[in-house]
Amino acid sequence: MTRLYLSNDTSARAAGADRLAKAWAHTPGLELIRTSSRGAFFLEPLVERDMPGGRVAWSNVTPDDLPRILAGSGGAPVSQIPFLSRQTRVTFANFGVTQPLSLDEYSACGGTKGLERARQLSPGAMIEELKVSRLRGRGGAAFPVWNKWQIARETASDRKYVVANADEGDAGTYCDRMIMEGEPFRLIEGMLICARAIGADTGYIYCRKEYPAAAGTLRAAIERAERAGLLGSGPPGSHGTGFHLEVLVGAGSYVVGEETALLESLEGRRGVVQARPPYPAVSGLYGRPTIVSNVLTFAIVPSILARGGEWYASMGTERSRGTVVLQIGGRVKQPGLVEIPFGATLEEVLERFGGGMAPGARFKAVQVGGPLGSLFPASRLGIRICYDAFAEAGAILGHGGIVVYDDETDMVELARHFMAFTADESCGKCTPCRIGSVRGREILERIQVGRGRPGDLDLLADLGETMKTASLCAFGGRAPYPVLTAIEHFGEEFRRLMK
Ligand SMILES: Cc1cc2nc3c(=O)[nH]c(=O)nc-3n(C[C@H](O)[C@H](O)[C@H](O)COP(=O)(O)O)c2cc1C
Same domain (yes/no): 230, 344: no
Choose one of 269, 295, 313: the last residue of a domain.
Answer: 313
Does the pLDDT of residue 235 top 70, yes or no? no
Q: Which ligand 1 atom is at minimum distance from the Cα of 475?
A: 1
What is the band of 279 on the pLDDT scale with cuts at 50, 70, 90?
A: very high
Using CA atoms, how far apart are residues 382 and 345, in angstroms rounded to an integer?
A: 5
N-term to C-term CA, the chain: 71
Which atom in ligand 1 lies closest to the alpha carbon of residue 138? 27
The answer to the question of residue 91 being in a domain is no
Distance 293 CA to ligand 1 centre (A): 8
Regarding whether 327 and 379 lie in a shared domain, the answer is yes
| Cβ-based neighbours of 180, under 8 Å, separated by 6 or more | 166, 187, 205, 207, 211, 214, 215, 217, 218, 295
Is residue 234 very low, low, confident or very high in pLDDT (cuts 50, 70, 90)?
A: low
Q: Is 426 exposed, middle or buried (0-12, 13-18, 19+ CB in 10 A)?
A: buried
Taking 80 as the threshold, does the pLDDT of residue 206 lie above it?
Answer: yes
Which atom of ligand 1 approaches the CA of 297 most closely? Answer: 26
Atom of ligand 1 nearest to the CA of 255: 1
- For position 499, what pLDDT does the model report? 77
Is residue 237 pLDDT above 90, yes or no? no
CATH number at residue 390: 3.10.20.600
Residues 261 and 197 in one domain: yes
* Ligand 1 centroid, distance to 399 Cα (angstroms): 9
CA atoms of 253 and 273, how far apart (whole Å): 12
Residue 34's CB is within 10 A of a number of other CB atoms, namely: 17
Q: Ligand 1 pocket test: which of 198, 255, 259, 273 has the largest number of ligand atoms within 8 Å of its C-beta?
A: 259
Decide: 279 in ligand 1 pocket, CB within 6 A: no
- Give the pLDDT mean for 182-186: 98
**474 Cβ below 6 A of ligand 1:** yes
- The verdict on 148 and 202 lying in the same domain is yes
Mean pLDDT within 380-405: 96
Instruction: Examine residue 90 and state whether it is found in any structural domain, yes or no.
Output: no
Average pLDDT over residues 172-199: 98
Cα 256 to middle of ligand 1, angstroms: 9
What is the pLDDT at residue 236? 67
Kindly tell me if the per-residue pLDDT of 239 is higher than 70: no
Residue 243 domain-assigned (yes or no): yes
Last residue of a domain, one of 406, 423, 442: 406
Q: How many domains does the chain have?
A: 4
Binding site membership of 473 for ligand 1 (Cβ less than 6 Å): yes
Same domain, 299 and 343: no
**pLDDT tens, position by position, 455-499:** 999 999 999 999 999 999 999 999 999 999 999 999 999 999 997
Give me ligand 1 centre to Cα 267, in Å: 17
pLDDT over threshold 70, residue 186: yes
Cα of 165 from ligand 1 centre, angstroms = 7
Q: Does 302 share its domain with 277?
A: yes
The domain that contains 187 carries what CATH number? 3.40.50.11540
Is 168 close to ligand 1, i.e. is its CB under 6 Å away?
yes
pLDDT for the residue numbered 233? 79
Percentage of the chain modeled with pLDDT above 70: 99
Mean pLDDT, residues 26-41 taken together: 97
Q: CA 396, CA 390: separation in Å to the nearest integer?
A: 5
Q: Is 147 within a domain?
A: yes
- 245 and 270 co-located in one domain: yes
What is the per-residue burial (b if ≥16 Cβ within 10 Å, else e) of 439-465? bbbebbeebbeeebeeebbeebeebbe
* pLDDT band, residue 442 (cuts 50/70/90): very high
Query: So what's the pLDDT on residue 35?
Result: 98
Residues 304 and 429 both lie in one domain: no
User: Whole domain around residue 77: which residue ranges?
Assistant: 2-85
CATH code where residue 447 lies? 1.20.1440.230
Q: How far is the CA of 6 from the centre of ligand 1 (A)?
A: 32
- Residue 95 in any domain: the answer is no
DSSP string over 77-96: EGGG-HHHHT---STTTTTT
In-domain check, residue 115: yes
pLDDT tens, residue by residue, 252-268: 999 999 999 999 999 99
Tell me: do 289 and 328 sit in the same domain: no
Check residue 241 and give its pLDDT. 82
17: CATH: 3.40.30.10
Confidence check: pLDDT of 345 > 80: yes
**Same domain for 262 and 309?**
yes
- Report, as an integer, the average pLDDT of 33-38: 98
- Asked if the structure places residue 94 within a domain, the reply is no
Residue of the nearest CA to atom 18 in ligand 1? Answer: 259
| DSSP-assigned letters across all residues of 138-199 | SSSS--BHHHHHHHHHHS--S--EEEEEE---STT--HHHHHHHH-HHHHHHHHHHHHHHHT
Q: Do both 251 and 183 map to the same domain?
A: yes
Mean pLDDT of 207-217: 97
Q: Does the residue 97 lie in any domain?
A: no
In this structure, the answer to whether residues 199 and 64 fall within a common structural domain is no
Q: Which domain-ending residue is among 40, 57, 85?
A: 85
- What is the average pLDDT value for the chain, to the nearest integer? 97
Listed range (61-75, 228-242, 335-349) with the worst mean pLDDT? 228-242
Ligand 1: residue whose CA is nearest its atom 23: 293
